[in-house]
Amino acid sequence: MNFFNLFKIACEALLRNKTRAMLTMLGIVIGIASVIAMVSLGETSKNEINSQISSTGANMIMVMRSSQQRGGVNIGSGNVQTLTDKDAEAIVRRAQYISMASPVVNAAGGQLVYGSNNWPGNFQGGNEHLIYIRNYEIETGSNFTDYDVRTYAKVCILGKTVVDNLFPDGEDPIGKTIRFGKIPFRIIGTLVEKGNQLGSDQDDTVIVPYTTIQKRILAINYVHMIMASAISDDLALEAAQEVETIVRAQHRIKEGQDDDFEVRTQQELLDMLTNVMGMLTMLLASIASISLIVGGIGIMNIMYVTVTERTKEIGLRMSIGARSRDIKLQFLTESALLSLIGGLIGVVFGLLLYYGVTAAMDWIFVVSVQAVIMAFAVCAATGIFFGWYPAKKAASLDPINALRYE
């Protein structure tokens, strides 16, 4: 019996019981739709995370204060004062793979005030290279200079969120003076909007010379962090190792002693989040695939019923020359056809669900060809696997007993 005849007989059998066939396919439809949506959303979320982290500078390297322990108790890094601007200068001077570096000092907890408007102030202090390391762009005005850093100048650059809340009427902020506590700051620039990154508003920031925060706000002589840029993304790991060597030498840390700082890269964060999202996607896809197993059991159940209902037909076919192999292929074809049609409908519904979620989240809609191919492969395997035993049972029927079956 050729494939065309098998396909024709299978279609006729399914059309005779359209409602039953549709209900049987429902489990496959739900399972495939769920798997397609989960796998596609997982891939898209990983791409979004990659894009968001890259927007802050994929080649960025951070040197941070490490936590300390006293009496076996971790007291955190809040009081650690091991990093200074001299470390940043040494990195720029000695590092081969670093293009620029900036000391970073943060300050928060006060209100920014302009006229009758106010907004919580989140200051980030650095040198004139900080905005380039953080991959910010000046929209209006200008960046501060090395002279501003050396003279603790009371100048600032505002992010889009701060501008919108302090100047809601669209007033040009350049040249205006805002106050942080009792300290006036003259606005010399605004930043191009960057949006959220992993739930954090990158535009809710005020960038000032780090020395201004050190001397005029916090009264400290150390820095909270050092940010640096590798000369390229591919050399970020080598640059991080180089920075670690330089800072260890600066702090006179001997061989075998623990570092009093930590060096991290954006790539490490990206790898960690990608792995987490990958595991989460696989977990969700595994849970969704349970409905595929349920759908496969439904196919097996219906094929058992079909074999019982068509016992006399099977006996008749055998009596006119059909071989056991032909009978087995006939029922396997029906089972695979049920699964593949359900899979096709499931792919359509899965892509529609995926499109709806990406539209709601404002993500890029990208069809995963790999996921679609995998879905059809799973459908075919499900149909053959769960249809095998009923088909084998049909093929093993005795023709005489089958013809006598009522």
- Asked whether residue 197 falls in the same domain as residue 288, the answer is no
Domain that holds residue 396: 3-52+272-404
Higher-pLDDT residue of 168 and 20 is: 168
Which stretch, 107-111, 293-297, 298-302, 398-402, has highest mean pLDDT? 107-111
| pTM for the structure as a whole | 0.64
Band the pLDDT of 125: cuts 50, 70, 90.
very high
Provide the pLDDT confidence category of residue 74 given band limits of 50, 70 and 90.
very low
Inside any domain, residue 218: yes
- Answer with the one of 194, 229, 264 that is the final residue of a domain: 229
pLDDT at 387: 75
More confident residue, 338 or 185: 185
- CB atoms < 10 A from the CB of 210, how many? 27
Q: Which residue has the tokens 């968001």?
A: 52
DSSP class per residue in 159-224 = -HHHHHHH-TT----TT-EEEETTEEEEEEEEEPP--EETTEETTS-EEEEHHHIIIIII--SS-S
Domain end position, chosen among 197, 229, 261: 229
- Residues 307 and 225 placed together within one structural domain of the fold: no
Whether residue 263 lies inside any domain: the answer is no
Q: Is the pLDDT of residue 323 over 80?
A: no
- Count the domains in the chain: 2
pLDDT at 189: 95
Q: What percentage of the chain reaches a pLDDT higher than 70?
A: 87
What confidence score (pLDDT) does residue 210 get? 96
Give the strand pairing for 60-65 and 177-180: unpaired
pLDDT, tens digit (0-9, with 9 covering 90-100), for 224-267:
999 999 988 788 888 999 999 999 999 988 888 888 889 988 77
Statement to judge: residues 283 and 400 lie in one domain = yes
Query: For residue 253, what are its two tokens?
Result: 């840390």
User: Which tens digits make up the pLDDT trace of 129-180?
Assistant: 999 998 899 999 999 999 999 999 999 999 999 999 999 998 999 999 999 9
User: Which residue bears the tokens 């059909």?
Assistant: 322
CA angle 160, 165, 167 (to 5 degrees): 90
For 95-235, where are the alpha helices, taking DSSP H only? 130-133, 146-150, 160-166, 210-212
* The pLDDT of residue 34 is above 60: yes
More confident residue, 316 or 265: 265
Tell me whether residue 24 is in a domain: yes
Please write the tens of the pLDDT for every residue from 328-339: 777 778 788 888
Does one domain contain both 217 and 110? yes
* Same domain, residue pair 128 and 183: yes
Whether residue 239 lies inside any domain: the answer is no
- Please, are residues 159 and 221 in contact by the beta-carbon 8 Å criterion? no
**Residue 8, domain member (yes or no):** yes
148 shares its domain with 218: yes
For the beta carbon of residue 340, count every other beta carbon within 10 angstroms: 17
Task: Please tell me the distance from the alpha carbon of residue 101 to that of residue 92, in angstroms, as a whole number.
Answer: 6
